[in-house]
Structure 1
Amino acid sequence: MKKIGNIYFIAAIAVIGGGLFGFDISSMSAIISTDPYLCQFNQQGNDPITNKCRGPDSMVQGGITAAMPGGSWLGALVSGFISDRIGRKTSIQIGSVIWIIGSIICCASVNIPMLIVGRIINGFSVGICSAQVPVYITEISPPSKRGRLVGMQQWAITWGIMIMFFICYGCSYIAGTAAFRIPWGLQMLPAVLLFLGLLFMPESPRWLARKDRWEESKAVLSLVHGHGDPDSVLVSREMADIREVVEFERQNADVTYLELLKPNMINRTHIGVFMQIWSQLTGMNVMMYYITYVFTMAGLGEDVLLPSAIQFIINVVLTVPALIWMDAWGRRPTLLVGAFFMCLWMCINAGLFAVYSRPPRPYEFPSPSESMAIEGAPAKAVIASTYLFVASYAPTWGPVSWTYPPELYPLRVRGKAVALATSANWAFNFALAWFVPPAFEKQTWKVYVIFAVFLFVMFWHVFFLFPETANKPLEEIVAIFDYSKPGSVKYIGTPAWKTGNTRREALRLERGDISAEEKIGLEHRDLK
């Protein structure tokens, strides 16, 4: 079957796997406050005064929401074994089939246990795709475009959130359970497109090389990077680097997760895991899942869905600057700027709710998690700062959190290492999704303070310990950490804040703007 070599088209198909997560976020966010959902899963019975369905209590609703990231945690861990054995592309296709099965169960759910089972299965799929899509794109992308292309995963998530939210908004006018069954059924379609689209995509050239399929590996690099020319400078350089790394790694045994804790690997393991943990502790996904709670408390009442959609539009639009300029900005500055501004908006929201909110009147709000009421100008300020929080996350931590971890690891451990880092993302997503409804109920505005503290700490963690990886070939990034390899580039004694962005050199190589002596050297390394 003829394979497509346009790197942007390859990335656009692959990141549909990220879009599946976006579909889940907004389907829960838009549905949990609607009457059909509350009545179908009416654990608490009807309100004695209004006779309206009260739905699940805050702990159970947190568990329903958290079922998806709980399944994702397990899926992410398993994905490393699947990906290393059968390939990056095939593992993503398996994830798409599992998503279809989970969506069918969710769509047909008649009670809370059935809904939770469907969401766990969906989560297992998202865990596989969210871990292996960045690995696949990282291993197939040229260095100067890697950040942009992997960052498309976050853009796909934002599109998934927005599209599903408007589908749910339209279906909210339908009477009965069709109001949520139709959206949960339609979310199968992207998975079908992902499975079929990947049939026409090439496999990762680095995975092929590790399986001793050298001709196929070079053919993929020629197709994707050399525009069909196997003698292109970039193809020669990458084949030489891949061959050198693979031959070096042949001296080692098969990889286990325990290897990621060895002294020569623990630093980058810690960075990759914390990259994903911090991306959750920003509070962004919480804002997405439970935004209807926040806006209801801010006085928007039954008109909460449309204002909530504005933040999803902001999320889509403001992810675009990162796709265009993230490789030029570098990873470190992008993360630091994002953490600073998100901390600022969290502090403002905490202050507004602390000073101006009041306890809700009896039966004022349908959910006990809607534990504060704020009105007038302070309520508008809460809405504005919430939008600004999303605008700060979208071009910074959103795309970089998926781009950064796959860049840190050598080929031999990359599949399992990214799976471990992504599993940390889902473990904290699970905990926060379950924690936030009862936290809003019991801790009220202090929830914002908790996230502000996390953001303050992550700013300094990134500043002191996260090195720059933008525009560096993957094999060169390995050398930053690998002090034992002969001829490695050593940054011993160089603090993380002094590691620089090498964009100019990466662009020069891709243009073929190198001397004849350099080209001969690359060709000689490739022949070796």
Structure 2
Amino acid sequence: MAGGAVAASDRTNACTHLMDPNRKWYNNRRLMALHGWLFLLLITSSTNGYDGSMVNGLQSLTQWESYFHTPTKGKLGLLSAIQNIGALAGYPFAPYLSDGIGRKPTVFIGALIMVLATVVQTASQSVGMFIGARFLIGFGLTFAANAAPMLVTELSYPQYRATLTSTYNSLWYSGSIIAAWTTFGTFKINSTWSWRVPSAIQALPSVLQVLLIWFVPESPRYLVSKGKETQALRTLAYYHADGNENDPLVRYEFEEIKSAIEFDRTVTANVGWGSFLASPGNRKRVRIIIAIAFFSQWSGNGLVSYYLNKVLSQMGIEDPTDQLLINGVLNIWNLLWALLASSMVERFGRRLLFLTSAGLMTLFLTMQTICFARFKISGEVAGAHGALAFIFLFYAAYDLAFTPLIVTYTLEILPYNIRAKGFNIFNFTISVALIFNQYVNPIAFAALSWKYYIVYSAWLAFEVVFLYFFVIETRNRTLEETAAIFDGKGATEQIVDSAATHAGVTHELGIEEKDVVSHENESEK
């Protein structure tokens, strides 16, 4: 077992000395335009968040429950899990589309499928039709969710890459908020439109993407990989340097992208599925990616994310209006904490945020379990109130790392040639974890009540140990530098030196042996 890497030195972003200090997102028209296009990609996560919260809200609507004959246990689990089952069906194809036809067309295909599926969901006449529509929503979301965050991280201005990519998953809560308050607002509609309206609104982000995605620039890294270097350079120059193709930052970015892609193709043969097990660096990547994907869903958060009404009912909060109100407030609370954490990822680093998040979650879930137990065993109302308070504290802790960082960290540790496939592994793992949660949680919670929380409290303690030993700090690096540190100092220096030489700039890497994976140690595993 390799020890965890210490935090990187307190230096500024690796490309800071190449950037125009006067070029900011709020005073440069082309950066503002770029961020507008990136926002169109970021709202992909809102669609996913909307779905989870909508399912939560619909369970509190008597009109929805009566129309579908009050689904319970297995059927309720299927209604929640079917979206992720649909996602599983899309995983064999998503990375090949992203790498084959490009990030933009893949987002379009996914968004179009989701628009059509949402129409079917809104018009559902039976539970089977509703389930089928949700399957298609998950299928389409797979394509959009594979390509959109990659395009965000590959297009972003270096100074803002980590924050923007972290914002992607944080905006899950924006969709969740809209769904929560929509279901709260339609609660008093005395017809099936009380649940059809929320179903229809789910299509809005996808409709915007279908209409506008073709105006978004394509990933320069995708363009370089397809031999379209002139177009890649033009894209970088237009958005990162006001069209100046000889800008030092643009020249360095362009040459670093070319060097990294060529290095992975020719030196390390970092292509195809087999490469994930072929080298120590890739094996460590896969281990971390699978772990944080499972951790993001198996930390006790799945109970509240999809079954908040059941949890609140067990706490004695049974009024549907109160449940919907708590759901709405909780999602606003989550969004604020997640966006705050997104803005801090470069200041505090990934490792510190992961460890702080997991440690506080362990503490708060344990306290929530104790309060919940006191209420169920002795009927103390204060116990129920305490458990509710610790739900909010638990989510604040979760949002420090497991909302903003899981996508950011996964994408930045993967080299371009295997990024789409590696991100597919991440999303596939999340879907498997979610399907398990959505099927097992309602059954286990109904049978064990507060005792079920003990399982997650113990699991969280394991997460802290794993994260301490295996998460490596990656802050304040370019995308190519971050990916390369897993392949050793030599690989990183070769890519950076080649890029700096061809770009005609000086570039201080500032990397130390402690910041990279040790091939000697890893090869023993």
TM-score tier, shorter chain, comes to 0.7 to 0.9
Structure 1 residues 294-443: aligned runs within 5 Å: 294-302=311-319, 303-358=322-377, 375-443=380-448
Which consecutive aligned stretches of 4+ in structure 1 deviate over 4 angstroms post-superposition? 517-520
1:523 to 492, 496, 503: 503
Match of 2:49 in 1: 22
Letter in 1 for 2:42: V
Following TM superposition, by how much is the alpha carbon of 1:518 offset from its aligned partner in structure 2, in angstroms? 12
* Matching of residue 8 in structure 1 with residue 24 in structure 2: no
Following TM superposition, by how much is the alpha carbon of 1:250 offset from its aligned partner in structure 2, in angstroms? 3.9
Structure 1 residues 466-477: aligned runs within 5 Å: 466-477=471-482
Match of 2:297 in 1: 280
Provide the C-alpha distance between the structure 2 equivalents of 1:77 and 1:409, rounded to a whole number of angstroms: 19
Provide the C-alpha distance between the structure 2 equivalents of 1:92 and 1:346, rounded to a whole number of angstroms: 37
Provide the C-alpha distance between the structure 2 equivalents of 1:518 and 1:41, rounded to a whole number of angstroms: 62
Letter in 2 for 1:213: K
Provide the C-alpha distance between the structure 2 equivalents of 1:197 and 1:269, rounded to a whole number of angstroms: 34
Conserved 8 A contact 1:36-1:180:
yes
Conserved 8 A contact 2:270-2:418:
no
1:260 to 257, 276, 281: 276
Following TM superposition, by how much is the alpha carbon of 1:304 offset from its aligned partner in structure 2, in angstroms? 1.6
Length, aligned pairs only: 473
Following TM superposition, by how much is the alpha carbon of 1:77 offset from its aligned partner in structure 2, in angstroms? 4.3
Match of 2:287 in 1: 270
What SS does the aligned partner of 1:290 have?
helix
Following TM superposition, by how much is the alpha carbon of 1:67 offset from its aligned partner in structure 2, in angstroms? 0.6
Provide the C-alpha distance between the structure 2 equivalents of 1:312 and 1:489, rounded to a whole number of angstroms: 44
Match of 1:45 in 2: none
Match of 1:247 in 2: 262
Distance 1:476 1:40, change over 3 A: same
Structure 1 residues 146-185: aligned runs within 5 Å: 146-185=161-200
Distance 1:74 1:274, change over 3 A: farther
Conserved 8 A contact 1:77-1:420:
no
Match of 1:58 in 2: 73
Distance 1:128 1:439, change over 3 A: same
C-alpha distance after superposition, 1:179-211 (max 9, x if no partner): 111110121121111222322210000010000
Distance 1:452 1:28, change over 3 A: same
Q: CA RMSD in A?
A: 2.5
| TM-score, normalised with respect to structure 2 | 0.85
Following TM superposition, by how much is the alpha carbon of 1:321 offset from its aligned partner in structure 2, in angstroms? 1.1
Moved more, 225-234 or 271-280: 225-234
Following TM superposition, by how much is the alpha carbon of 1:90 offset from its aligned partner in structure 2, in angstroms? 1.5
Q: Give unpaired runs (5+ residues) of structure 1.
A: 43-54, 359-372, 491-508, 510-516
Provide the C-alpha distance between the structure 1 equivalents of 2:357 and 2:500, rounded to a whole number of angstroms: 43
Structure 1 residues 47-196: aligned runs within 5 Å: 55-196=70-211
Following TM superposition, by how much is the alpha carbon of 1:396 offset from its aligned partner in structure 2, in angstroms? 2.0
Moved more, 174-183 or 66-75: 66-75
Provide the C-alpha distance between the structure 1 equivalents of 2:65 and 2:167, rounded to a whole number of angstroms: 35
Conserved 8 A contact 1:345-1:385:
yes
Following TM superposition, by how much is the alpha carbon of 1:380 offset from its aligned partner in structure 2, in angstroms? 0.7
Q: Give unpaired runs (5+ residues) of structure 2.
A: 1-29, 507-525
Provide the C-alpha distance between the structure 2 equivalents of 1:377 and 1:216, rounded to a whole number of angstroms: 63
1:461 to 463, 466, 489: 466
Provide the C-alpha distance between the structure 2 equivalents of 1:231 and 1:458, rounded to a whole number of angstroms: 47
Distance 1:321 1:405, change over 3 A: same
What SS does the aligned partner of 1:301 have?
coil
Match of 2:68 in 1: 41
C-alpha distance after superposition, 1:154-189 (max 9, x if no partner): 232111000111111111110121111111012112
Identity %: 27
What SS does the aligned partner of 1:63 have?
helix
What SS does the aligned partner of 2:215 have?
coil
Distance 1:375 1:294, change over 3 A: farther
What SS does the aligned partner of 1:445 have?
helix
Letter in 2 for 1:187: Q
Letter in 1 for 2:227: D
Distance 1:254 1:329, change over 3 A: closer
Provide the C-alpha distance between the structure 2 equivalents of 1:73 and 1:131, rounded to a whole number of angstroms: 12
* Matching of residue 231 in structure 1 with residue 211 in structure 2: no
Distance 1:478 1:312, change over 3 A: closer
Distance 1:467 1:101, change over 3 A: same
Distance 1:283 1:462, change over 3 A: same
Provide the C-alpha distance between the structure 2 equivalents of 1:463 and 1:213, rounded to a whole number of angstroms: 42
C-alpha distance after superposition, 1:81-111 (max 9, x if no partner): 1101111121111111111122122112222
Following TM superposition, by how much is the alpha carbon of 1:29 offset from its aligned partner in structure 2, in angstroms? 0.4
Conserved 8 A contact 2:225-2:261:
yes
What SS does the aligned partner of 2:344 have?
helix
Moved more, 64-73 or 398-407: 64-73
Provide the C-alpha distance between the structure 2 equivalents of 1:289 and 1:187, rounded to a whole number of angstroms: 16
Following TM superposition, by how much is the alpha carbon of 1:337 offset from its aligned partner in structure 2, in angstroms? 0.8
Conserved 8 A contact 1:12-1:152:
no
Provide the C-alpha distance between the structure 2 equivalents of 1:425 and 1:174, rounded to a whole number of angstroms: 35
Provide the C-alpha distance between the structure 2 equivalents of 1:415 and 1:23, rounded to a whole number of angstroms: 24
Provide the C-alpha distance between the structure 1 equivalents of 2:195 and 2:358, rounded to a whole number of angstroms: 35
Conserved 8 A contact 1:127-1:423:
no
Letter in 2 for 1:31: L
Following TM superposition, by how much is the alpha carbon of 1:299 offset from its aligned partner in structure 2, in angstroms? 2.1
Match of 1:361 in 2: none
Following TM superposition, by how much is the alpha carbon of 1:144 offset from its aligned partner in structure 2, in angstroms? 3.4
Following TM superposition, by how much is the alpha carbon of 1:332 offset from its aligned partner in structure 2, in angstroms? 0.8
